[in-house]
Amino acid sequence: MEKVKYPLFKKEDLDGFFALFQNNLANFVLIAVTMIGMGFPSSIVYGRVIPGAAIAVFFGNMYYAHMAKKLAEKENRNDVTALSYGISTPIMFIYLFGVLGPALALTEDPELAWKIGMAACFLGGLVEAFGSVIGNWLHRILPRAAMLGALAGVAFTFIGGELFFQTYEMPMVGLFVLGIILIGLIGKKKMPFKIPASLFAIVIGTVMAYILGDAQVSDITTGLSNLGFYGFLPTLGALEGMSLLFTSMIGLLAVLLPISIYNFIETMNNVEAMAAAGDKYSVGEAQLADGVGTMVGTLFGGVFPTTVYIASVGAKWMNAGRGYTILNGFVFLLTSAFGVIASMSEIIPVPVIAPILVFVGISMVSQTFSSVKQSHYPAVVIAMFPYFANYVMTRFNNAAAEVVEGISPGIVPLGNGAMFTGLIWGAILVFIIDNQYIKATLAALVGALLSAIGLMHSSELVFLLDYRYTVGYVILALLFVYFGTVGKENALEQPNKMKQSA
């Protein structure tokens, strides 16, 4: 058999690149704006944190391009799409408000807080790297509907939903840009002069924003003032941060462990989403790459864990190959080094970027339903619900805790550990649908264990912080035991009685 040539770059990689670049750029912009708002100086944000994140993104993109080449050669096909790679949005917010914020409040020293952030990030990468040992095993035992459903919850709330809100912040511009994205990437219509739809949308949308007055010319001046050279300087600041992390900041470990476990589960889910789309990668290898990439980033000032990106399926829909990740890695490296990221974050309005991420959310949720059996659709839906609670909790609980409590006191407990809760309930419902009550019982008992140690329904790792959740899952397990034994016998008796009456 003649070997198929797997191209280094093809025209579809341009759309994939712009989607992935804007996805990463949106997070980088949020990081910069939030950290500076907290009180971190631009010298740390643009001089250390952004370059460190760019190093991690470069490492991961190059490695995933390599993995795509291996898969293409193994399966002798040229339509393999490389995994996307970047900073996970939910984890980014947890590190911002659960690690960097408290560290800055305690130390009142931005540099020390940054070093604590590096230490926390390094530990997170280490946990994910070790998680690769059990990654393939977890991948085998968890139902696809549970994994993809939990991920679809992230896509619906944090990616598609929130960015849909931001699209409407500039309705004349945002709706026009969203129309271009939907026509070009879902309707598959060619743009004028065959310009990639994402690039066309960004250019036209940005020009419109300034012409219509939704953006100010002063934004361009501010953006250009951030241009300069920001070198990639190695640092061992994480070592100093580690000493603080295990002393005065020991409480942060309660945040780090569950979110680090969450990170390698998110990697597993995203790899599964790509398998459903046609490209089956090794979960363990991806988790190891994510962990190592995160740790490499901390050696250059990075404070945010990286992971296989939810945008992978969007890139697959665009028929991208491996070139889009290679281009993304190099462009991020250069734009971070010369302050272009800092400039673009000021010049390009977020509502212009937002519609591209709305597309990513659409493609992820759509892919989920098209990748599981129709009978398992209810399991996908229930797995998505916890992330609605997590979204409300993350966005509103700090500023409006009484309002959140007034809506329902169950929002915060359900939102804590949402990925685990989504996986547990998605798996339970798959097992119920497939009449596998022993497995449903085991899933409920795992839920009881995770609740008992604080990985679910708790804001910290404390044993039996609220025993009611643990007991609730145990009661649920007993219910499944009943229907797996007595209930099963009753179900078998009914057809026999019908036969006798016939």
59, 295, 385 from 66: Cα distances, Å: 11, 19, 36
Q: Give the global pTM.
A: 0.73
Question: What confidence score (pLDDT) does residue 497 get?
Answer: 46
Q: Which of 253, 279, 278, 291 is nearest to 135 (CA)?
A: 291
CA 306, CA 295: separation in Å to the nearest integer? 9
Residue spans of alpha helices (H) in 170-298 = 171-181, 197-211, 217-224, 237-245, 253-277, 283-298
Question: What confidence score (pLDDT) does residue 419 get?
Answer: 82
Q: Which of 159, 93, 124, 88 is nearest to 398 (CA)?
A: 93
What type of residue is 322? R
Question: What confidence score (pLDDT) does residue 29 get?
Answer: 79
Q: Does the residue 446 lie in any domain?
A: no
Question: What confidence score (pLDDT) does residue 64 get?
Answer: 96
Give, in degrees to the nearest 5, the angle at Cα 85 between 391 and 289: 115
CA 217, CA 215: separation in Å to the nearest integer? 7
CA 214, CA 201: separation in Å to the nearest integer? 16
Question: What confidence score (pLDDT) does residue 489 get?
Answer: 57
Q: Does the residue 471 lie in any domain?
A: no
Q: Does the residue 417 lie in any domain?
A: no
Q: Whole domain around residue 179: which residue ranges? A: 14-372
Question: What confidence score (pLDDT) does residue 261 get?
Answer: 73
Q: Does the residue 491 lie in any domain?
A: no
Question: What confidence score (pLDDT) does residue 150 get?
Answer: 85
Q: Does the residue 443 lie in any domain?
A: no
Question: What confidence score (pLDDT) does residue 375 get?
Answer: 97
Give, in degrees to the nearest 5, the angle at Cα 68 between 66 and 73: 100
Per-block average pLDDT, block size 10, for the chain (502 residues)? Answer: 83 86 78 84 91 94 96 92 86 80 86 93 88 76 87 85 92 97 92 84 94 93 88 90 80 67 79 89 91 94 89 87 94 90 84 85 86 94 94 83 92 90 95 96 97 89 91 98 77 47 42
Q: Does the residue 453 lie in any domain?
A: no
- Count of the separate structural domains present in the chain: 1
- Other residues' Cβ atoms within 10 Å of the Cβ of residue 386: 28
